[in-house]
């Protein structure tokens, strides 16, 4: 028998088959995106540390226990200078003069088919690195997520991927960024599916898991297999403590709501402050620096404070002061133009709330209460989950960091209480509320995306060819009577000599005049036409068409070439609009589920 030999042709054929297999292709792309996003997060974190070392001479985590004596002028000048640089960069280079974050990733996934700008992502990451490195009270995980998603979007755009595949790659970038930040691959994958992609289909989940593992592997190679926090030995003393954890969940919900609302208040206040936009972050940085003279723990991400709080190194009064100051500083920084996330501030606030709650619980029930570290970790999870609106992935982050099953049960219980209470009193999450204030409703994200992709001109070209019957302004009433009687739509469109729409005529518009023979030679179309009827433009989308039809109650809507010339080009029927919507919906559903 002749021996089969492996030739280049065989390899090429196998590669082509792999490319044609969308599932394998997506997993391969997930690996690529995971490596790219993971490497980008490593560079981002190193940039933050480099800026800290260049400006302060040490990392800001060392300020947690007043281990270093820093001149007051440095604490004020460095954040102010960082704010000035960030303000100038965003003012010159960013759309709307603001850096972007996780909310924009969620919006891109829900409303823009995963399309994001890599340029905006890189500039936002630069601004965030400067913000965190100069001591602003903002987080680093949100910018890392945005950076990973932006790079994933760039790859999807260069490969001309479909809407469904682009959204999946976006989730891959997010998963890799989260896992590289916390050495938590499971939590990274679930955060991407829970917060960004919004579905757990195998086709979507498999590449996201691969990307998350890739991000974790790169993080392990560069930083070593170390936990995000040094937790010490913390165990729950008794299951009788679980009612106390429910109480902590309630307190955490209140703290979360106060912090989120404070940020939005600051964002509303900022435009009213009469000063150049680029100067506002500098002023915010200076104020944070003044507070840091007494409470340096509020600066930057604050993870040094978190570790010392877990070890029980602060008293109740100082913890409460740090928590209040952290809320104020974070709201000021994010409201006045610094770039960064809310996850790190939420962890710091949660640590302050949990540690102070634990110290009080130990005084009230000294024989039942666990160590303060347990309450600190539970508080961190409860506040972070309420702010992010991600109870599952936050629970898994805590579990992967601690490896303690019983502690994870306590965290889960507090998270359920805090997220449910926050949802009822405030909203789904900080990101959802941010988008709501932009008039973006995530509940209709999938349908809104479909409605936005279909234009009215497409319906005109591919509809059931409803004939738009036009007449001139000088058409006599006798001719109008005949045309309306023979019309299939029951509506005539009155057009000016220049082609512009003048008005419409229906039986209702004419009334008894239509049947009065004495008016045959007296009235013209211009006399009985309804002026300013509801209209659409060819460039309007399907959502606009459905809204106009719903508000007007009419089945036929006139279509103009554009809002400036107002040239009449036809009409659309309600039936055609609904058929176009159903076709687009079925097409996208097919892409999503690969049926």
Q: How does pLDDT run across 71-128, given as a tens digit for each residue?
A: 899 999 999 999 999 999 999 998 777 889 999 998 888 777 778 989 999 999 999 9
Q: Mean pLDDT over residues 432-436, rounded?
A: 90
Q: Which residue has the tokens 């359920």?
A: 416
Question: Half-sphere exposure (CA, 13 Å, Cβ side) for 241?
Answer: 28
Q: Are 83 and 134 in contact (CB under 8 A)?
A: yes
Q: Which ranges in 242-296 belong to alpha helices (H)?
A: 242-269, 280-292
Whether residue 539 is predicted with pLDDT greater than 70 in this model: the reply is: yes
Domains of the chain with CATH codes: 8-230 (1.10.3080.10), 239-274+293-439 (1.10.3080.10), 454-593 (3.10.580.10)
The whole-angstrom separation of Cα 185 and Cα 177 is 10
Ranges 128-142, 237-251, 432-446: which has the least confidence:
432-446
How confident is the model at residue 595, as a pLDDT?
39
Across 163-170, average pLDDT: 86
Query: What pLDDT band is residue 378 in, cutting at 50, 70 and 90?
Result: very high
Among 50-64, 120-134, 395-409, 509-523, whose mean pLDDT is lowest?
509-523
Higher pLDDT, 25 or 208: 208
Contacts 24+ apart (CB under 8 A), 466-470: 466/556, 466/571, 466/572, 466/573, 466/576, 468/493, 468/558, 468/568, 468/570, 468/571, 469/493, 470/494, 470/495, 470/568
Out of 58-72, 311-325, 348-362, which region has the weakest mean confidence (pLDDT)?
A: 58-72
Cross-strand pairs, 556 = 573
Q: Phi first, then psi: give them for residue 202, nearest 5 degrees.
A: -60, -40
User: Which residue would you say has higher pLDDT here, 447 or 319?
Assistant: 319
Q: Which of 43-52, 89-98, 213-222, 241-250 has the lowest mean pLDDT?
A: 89-98
Helix (H) or strand (E) holding 505: strand 501-506
Is residue 18's pLDDT more than 80? no
Please give the pLDDT value at position 520: 59
If one counts every other C-beta atom within 10 angstroms of the C-beta of residue 420, the result is 14
The CA-atom distances, in angstroms, between 487 and each of 479, 483, 496, 507, 557 are 12, 6, 20, 11, 15
Query: What is the rounded average pLDDT of the residues 397-402?
Result: 81
Task: At 378, list the tokens.
Answer: 């539970």
Residue 457 vs residue 81, higher pLDDT: 81
Per-residue pLDDT at 2 exceeds 60? no
Within 8 A by CB and 6+ apart from 158, the residues are none
pLDDT, residue 318, reads 96
**Nearest of 246, 228, 260 to residue 357 by alpha carbon:** 246
Buried (b) or exposed (e) across 276-296, using 16+ Cβ within 10 A? Answer: ebbbbbbbbbbbbbebbeebb
Residue 175: pLDDT above 60?
yes
pLDDT of residue 15: 47
Which of 268-277, 460-469, 488-497, 543-552 is most confident?
Answer: 268-277
Q: Which two tokens stand for residue 445?
A: 């994200």
CA angle 23, 38, 228 (to 5 degrees): 120
Confidence of residue 262 (pLDDT cuts 50, 70, 90): very high
Give yes or no for residue 469 having a pLDDT over 50. yes
Give the relative orientation of helices 280-292 and 316-335 as an angle to the nearest 10 degrees: 170
Selected residue with higher pLDDT from 61 and 11:
61
Question: What is the full DSSP assignment across 99-160?
Answer: ---HHHHHHHHHHSTT---HHHHHHHHHHHHHHHHTT-S-BSHHHHHHHHHHHHHHHHHHTT
DSSP one-letter string for 207-243 = HHHHHHHHHHHHHHHHH-S--SS---S---S-GGGHH
- Helices then strands, counting H and E runs in the chain, come out as 25, 7
Mean pLDDT of 311-332: 96
pLDDT of residue 1: 46
Distance CA 442, CA 420 (A): 18
In tens, the pLDDT along 548-566 reads 888 888 888 999 988 888 8
207 band by pLDDT with thresholds 50, 70 and 90: very high
φ and ψ of 366, to 5 deg: -65, -25
Task: Give, for 14, the enclosing helix (H) or strand (E).
Answer: helix 8-20
Q: Which residues of 449-474 are buried (b: 16+ CB within 10 A; e: fewer)?
A: bbbebbbbbebbeebeebebbbbeee
For residue 337, name the pLDDT band (cuts at 50, 70, 90): very high
> What's the rounded Cα separation, in Å, for the pair 401 and 422?
25
Residues 6+ apart with CB under 8 A from 380: 306, 346, 347, 350, 351, 354, 398
pLDDT at 228 (0 to 100):
63
Q: How many CA atoms lie within 13 A of 371 on its CB side?
A: 14
Q: What is the pLDDT of residue 315?
A: 94
The DSSP code sequence of 359-370 is HHHHHH-TTT--
Planar angle of CA 272, 275, 278, nearest 5 degrees: 110
Which helix (H) or strand (E) segment holds residue 504: the answer is strand 501-506
The pTM assigned to this predicted structure is: 0.80
Rounded Cα distance between 286 and 89, Å, is: 18
Q: What is the pLDDT of residue 454?
A: 83
**Could you read off the pLDDT of 475-498 as tens digits, one per residue?**
887 788 788 877 777 788 999 999
523 vs 504: which has the higher pLDDT: 504
The count of C-alpha atoms lying within 13 angstroms of the C-alpha of 172, restricted to the half-sphere facing its C-beta, is 32
**Angle at alpha carbon of residue 427, lines to 426 and 432, rounded to 5°:** 135
Q: Across-strand partners of 535?
A: 558
Q: In what order do the strands lie in the sheet with 491-495?
A: 470-472, 491-495, 501-506, 530-531
User: Mean pLDDT score of the chain, rounded to an integer?
Assistant: 86
């Amino acid at each position: 028998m002749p021996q089969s030999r492996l030739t280049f042709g065989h390899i090429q054929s196998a590669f082509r088959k792999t490319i044609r297999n969308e599932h394998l292709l997506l997993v391969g792309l997930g690996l690529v995106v995971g490596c790219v996003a993971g490497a980008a997060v490593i560079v981002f974190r190193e940039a933050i540390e480099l800026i800290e070392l260049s400006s302060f001479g040490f990392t800001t985590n060392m300020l947690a226990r007043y281990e270093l004596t820093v001149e007051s002028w440095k604490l004020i000048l460095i954040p102010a200078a960082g704010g000035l640089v960030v303000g100038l960069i965003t003012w010159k280079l960013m759309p709307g003069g603001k850096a972007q974050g996780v909310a924009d990733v969620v919006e891109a996934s829900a409303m823009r088919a995963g399309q994001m700008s890599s340029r905006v992502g890189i500039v936002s990451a630069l601004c965030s690195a400067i913000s965190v490195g100069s001591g602003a009270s903002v987080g680093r995980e949100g910018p890392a997520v945005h950076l990973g998603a932006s790079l994933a979007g760039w790859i999807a755009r260069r490969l001309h991927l479909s809407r469904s595949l682009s959204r999946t790659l976006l989730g891959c970038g997010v998963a890799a960024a989260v896992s590289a930040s916390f050495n938590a691959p499971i939590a990274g994958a679930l955060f991407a599916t829970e917060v960004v992609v919004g579905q757990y289909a195998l086709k979507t989940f498999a590449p996201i898991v691969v990307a998350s593992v890739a991000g974790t592997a790169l993080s392990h190679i560069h930083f070593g297999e170390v936990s995000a926090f040094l937790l010490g030995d913390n165990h729950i003393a008794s299951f009788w403590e679980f009612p106390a954890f429910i109480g902590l969940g309630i307190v955490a919900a209140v703290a979360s709501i106060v912090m989120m609302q404070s940020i939005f208040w600051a964002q509303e206040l900022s435009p009213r402050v009469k000063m150049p936009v680029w100067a506002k972050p500098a002023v915010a940085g200076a104020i944070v620096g003044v507070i840091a003279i007494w409470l340096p723990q509020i600066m930057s991400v604050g993870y040094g404070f978190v570790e010392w709080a877990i070890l029980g190194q602060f008293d109740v009064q100082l913890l409460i002061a740090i928590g209040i100051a952290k809320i104020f500083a974070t709201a000021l920084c994010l409201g006045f133009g610094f770039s960064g996330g809310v996850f790190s501030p939420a962890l710091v606030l949660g640590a302050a709330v949990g540690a102070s709650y634990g110290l009080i619980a130990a005084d009230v029930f000294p024989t039942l209460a666990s160590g303060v570290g347990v309450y600190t970790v539970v508080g961190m999870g409860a506040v972070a989950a309420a702010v992010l609106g991600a109870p599952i992935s936050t629970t898994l982050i805590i579990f992967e960091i601690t490896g303690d099953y019983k502690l994870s049960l306590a965290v889960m219980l507090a998270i359920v209480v805090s997220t449910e209470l926050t949802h009822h009193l405030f909203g789904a999450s900080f990101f959802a509320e941010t988008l709501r204030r932009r008039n973006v409703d995530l509940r209709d994200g999938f349908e809104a995306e479909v409605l936005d992709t279909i234009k009215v001109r497409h319906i005109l070209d591919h509809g059931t060819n409803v004939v738009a019957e036009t007449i001139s302004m000088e058409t006599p009433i006798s001719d109008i009577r005949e045309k309306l009687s023979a019309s299939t739509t029951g509506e005539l469109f009155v057009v000016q000599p220049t082609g512009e729409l003048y008005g419409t005529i229906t039986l209702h518009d004419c009334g008894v005049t239509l049947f009065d023979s004495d008016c045959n030679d007296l009235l013209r179309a211009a006399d009985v036409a309804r002026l300013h009827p509801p209209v659409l433009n060819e460039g309007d989308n399907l959502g606009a068409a459905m809204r106009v039809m719903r508000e007007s109650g009419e089945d036929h809507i006139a279509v103009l070439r554009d809002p400036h010339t107002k040239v009449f080009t036809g009409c659309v029927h309600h039936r055609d609009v609904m058929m176009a919507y159903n076709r687009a919906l079925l097409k996208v559903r097919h892409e999503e589920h690969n049926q």
